[in-house]
Each structure stands twice: as structure tokens, then as C-alpha cells.
Amino acid sequence: MGCCGGKCENVLFRNAKNGDFVQSAWGKSRAPYIAFRGFFTLFLVVFLIWHLYDSFSRDTLYFTKADNWGYLLLVIYFIWALVLACVDYWQKQSSTEVIRLPKVEDLEGRLPWYFQVQWLLFNVSLTVAFFVLFVYNGLVIKGTSSVQDVAVHILNAVVALLDVLVCGIHVRLLHVVYPMCFGLFYVIFALIYWGAGGKDAEGNPYVYSIIDFRSETLYRLIPSGVSGDPGLAAGVCTGLIFLAVPLAHGFLYLLYRLRTHVAHIFVDICLYTSLQWLGTQIPFLVYRLTVASFCLGFLMWLLAKYAATENYFFYATYYGFYILTAYFLCSAVVTCVGLFRALSSVQPTDTDRDQETAHQSNAEQGNVTTQNNLRWFHQVQWLLMNMAFSPAIIITIGFTGFLSDGQYNFKDLTTHILNTALVFVDVLVCGVPVRVLHAVYPVMFGFAYIVLYAVSWAATGTVVYWFLDFSKPALSSAAVLGFVLVALPLFHLLFYGLYLLRCRLLMWLSGGKTPATGTNPARAAPV
């Protein structure tokens, strides 16, 4: 049903299952899917509120930009999808009729209207997100980008990529007409806005310089300003609508085909081995491999580009990213090994189940020790997680609050902002528990860095942080004690709070019991 198949009726929103719109393509477990929807909806809405406030305070004419239209549409889609997923989940869990999606007769493959709206929003918002990514980076971007630019033009496409790989909604080639209509509607708006005398934030009589509709005739009538090129504007609009938008939709379709192909392979594996629970681990494995690959690739690029520069090895930022990359690489390897062993093994024996029950009982009583079937690589993963997460949050707050000049390049965004975003996502989706007393490990990392920094300062006299100038012993001593003995433990408590939040959310989403074992979800697997 994903391909148009030469049937014109596929331009309509028909012949799909209702479940495709409220659950993941990787399995029927709805709680992780709702958690995914909720997290990214919250992220998009929070940034939208901040972006609107910032834009209106600087009078940047927010609603005249096509990229902002696309971001608004993406937010609406995620809110709509989250509401439908939650209502469907409560409908399945509740034995009453308190919350019910309205019934619709399935005539000729027709979907309920609310799923058709979701499908429409899915097609338009995700295609526009990829379109904005390609066009912005290819035609518009100049030099460094602000946080708003990165979120509206890059992170939105990352969220769209994750959505099409996780959700169960089909992509059809003929549905390209809907994002094309969106593009045509925006061009009509831009033309009317220009005709009514509208200007951009700098006072230019256009929204984008490449679609300047002014002609020589108009220039002679209104000599103030410089004439544009209506022929170029018409050509650009035509090319964007009838070439760039279909290409972006084609990219969306290829991602959908990739998701379908890979999901079918792993579903067959799960059915063949009678390990249906693997359906919820495949997305986790994909997540682990994706993040580990990104961090490793970025680190290699960082070393190649900046390692030879002066003072590179003095910065805590880079050491924090080294530890974070090591954690994600270790986690990816451990997850792959665990999944491989699961696929290669038989069903768990009664002894295995008894050991698991005992482990769960100990965990619920807070008596878990490293002797409870934890292998050495699990312990290494746990250690790296504790050492990496708290420093990452401190690095983000310290850089954005005290050291940044407001301009961010790709390196700054990744090492100072994206690092904490990855930490928040990981602590909410992984199963590794957090212990309060494990604060000793980030404290040890902090002391190790201070010792290295002090030795380097003594040897070279280099000062990279004004508050760590050891020629001023009072200031530097206070900074060291505050960083190591106050900030790191406090942010480890924040880390612990996120862990408790994850446990409560899992308990709420699963009705007080985990789907797999029926136990308190405060018990978390080490992998």
C-alpha cells in the first residue's frame, strides 16, 4: 500500500490500518511509542514558545518565513499524533467508555477523519522539513548559525527522520501533491504580501531575496530601491515547487521503504525464534548504533580539524565529549552482543526466570549489587555513564551561561548543547539505573581533569578558563571546590531525578507493571 502502484485513488487517504497511526512500525508495544511522541512533542513546543518570544521581541516578522511555517506544521503534526496515540492507549487500557475515538464505518477502505488529518500533516510537515534542510543549507545559509537557525532548519529534519523511521504511517508517492500545494500556497502568500507593500525585517520589499518579484517597470514607477528579477523569482518558485519538493518527498519515501524492509526482516526473525519481545529492542539497537556512529564520526572530524590548534587538550569540553563517546560506543557494543546472544539462544529456563525474579526483588528493595549477574562490560558501561552525564550538563550550562558570545558553529553546538540533549534522551530511554552514591565517579573525573589542567598550567602557564588561573589561588581554589564538590554532585542528583521520572513514567504508561515481567519498573536492566 506504500507505493502509488499507478492507481490514482492512492492520492487519497485510504487503504491503511488504523493501528499504523497510533503505534510503532517495530512492534505493538505502545508505551515506548507514546514516550517517544511525548518527548519530541515537548521539545518542539518548548522551542516554539522560545522562538516566538525571541522573534517578536526582535520584530523579525516570524509568520512571513516559509521555514517557520514548516516548523509550525511539524509542531501541529506531533501534537495531533500524540493526542491520538494517548487516546487510543487509554481506550485500550480502560474498560469504560470515558474516552473513545469516534467510530467510523470502514467504507471502501476509508479511514476515520482524524487519521486522515494525521496522514495529511505527516506528509506535508515531514516533506517540508527535509525540503527546508536541503534548500537552507544549499542556498540560504551564510557563515555561522544561531541556535534558532539550527533548530528550525536542521533539528526539525532530524526529528522528522526519527519519526518516519519509528512510526507506522505509510508514505505514498502520489501524496507529493499535498506538500506541493503547501508550497504553492506559500508562493501566493509571498506574492500578495509583496503586492501589499510588505517588507522583510531589514526593510527590503521581499521575504527572500531569491524571490524578488519587482520588475523594471515597477522600478521606474517607484524609484526607491533596486529592481528585482521577476523572471528569476518565477523560475525559482517553479523549481522549488515542481522539483525540490518532489525530491524531498522522494527522500521521505526512500526512508519509508528502508524502514519497511528492515522492520519486516526483524519481525520475521522474532517470529521464527519465538522472541516477540525483540520487537521493542530493535529500535533501541538502531538508536544506540546511530548515536554511537554520530559521536565517533564527529570526534574523528574534531580531532582532524582542531587537535593541532593551540590549547586544544586544555579544554574540559573535549574530555567530556571523549567520555560521552566512549559510553555510547560501549553501550552500542553491549547492546549488539546482548541482542546477538538472544537471537542465538533458546528460551529462558525456569532457573533463569528464578534468578531474574530474585534480581527484580532485590532491585525493588534497593539491594542490587554488582554480583547480580553483572558482567565486567556492564560495569564499564555503568561507570562511563555516571562519569559522562553530569559533566555534560555542567559543560552546557557553563558554556551557554558564562562563556558563550551568542554565536555557535557546528562544533560548539555539538560539544556544548547537543551533548546534553543526547544525555537527556539516553537517561529517559535506556534501562541503566542511577544510584546517588555513584556521584563519586563524576567527582573523580572532575579531580582528574583538575590535576591534568594544573600540571599543564605549571608546565606552560596557559590559562583557558579565567576562573582556573592558578596565579590567583583564592579564585581558582574556590572554582575547583565549587566545580568538583558542589556542582558535580548536584547535577548527579538531577541525573538521579531524571531516572526516577523515567521509572514513574514507565509505571504510569504500563499501569503499574512492566509489560514484560509484571514487576515494578524501577527495576532497570543494565544493558
Q: Write out pLDDT tens, residues 177-208.
A: 999 999 999 999 988 888 888 888 777 877 87
- Find the range with the poorest average confidence among 88-92, 149-153, 236-240, 339-343: 339-343
Q: Write out pLDDT tens, residues 294-333.
A: 898 888 888 888 777 767 778 888 889 999 999 999 998 8
Domain identity same for 199 and 293: no
Domain that holds residue 81: 11-275
- Do 382 and 417 touch, CB atoms closer than 8 A? no
**Quick one: which of 143, 133, 146, 141 has its CA closest to 58?**
146
CA 145 from chain center: how many Å? 19
Domain identity same for 486 and 503: yes
- Asked if residue 209 belongs to a domain, the reply is yes
Stated pTM of the model: 0.58
- Asked if residue 526 belongs to a domain, the reply is yes
Domain identity same for 433 and 522: yes
Domain identity same for 237 and 299: no
Using the 8-state DSSP alphabet, how is residue 151 labeled? Answer: I
Domain identity same for 287 and 211: no
Domain identity same for 268 and 290: no
Q: Write out pLDDT tens, residues 117-155.
A: 999 999 999 999 999 988 876 665 555 556 677 778 888
Domain identity same for 194 and 333: no
- Asked if residue 511 belongs to a domain, the reply is yes
- Asked if residue 219 belongs to a domain, the reply is yes
> Could you tell me the three cell numbers for 229?
528579477
- Asked if residue 363 belongs to a domain, the reply is no
Domain identity same for 378 and 521: yes
Domain identity same for 448 and 497: yes
Q: Write out pLDDT tens, residues 264-283.
A: 765 555 444 333 334 457 77
- Asked if residue 338 belongs to a domain, the reply is yes
- Asked if residue 5 belongs to a domain, the reply is no
Domain end (from 258, 275, 292): 275
- Do 299 and 305 touch, CB atoms closer than 8 A? no
Q: Write out pLDDT tens, residues 23-39.
A: 888 766 777 788 889 88
- Do 391 and 325 touch, CB atoms closer than 8 A? no
Domain end (from 231, 249, 275): 275
Instruction: Say how many domains are in the chain.
Output: 2
Q: Read out DSSP for 280-345? A: GTHHHHHHHHHHHHHHHHHHHHHHHHHTTSTTGGG-HHHHHHHHHHHHHHHHHHHHHHHHHHHHHS
Domain end (from 224, 246, 275): 275
- Do 134 and 248 touch, CB atoms closer than 8 A? yes
> Could you tell me the three cell numbers for 44?
518542539
| Type of residue numbered 502 | R
Domain identity same for 90 and 164: yes
Which residues, including other chains, have CB under 8 Å from residue 319's CB and lie 6 or more apart? 449
Domain identity same for 294 and 187: no
- Asked if residue 364 belongs to a domain, the reply is no
Domain identity same for 449 and 309: yes
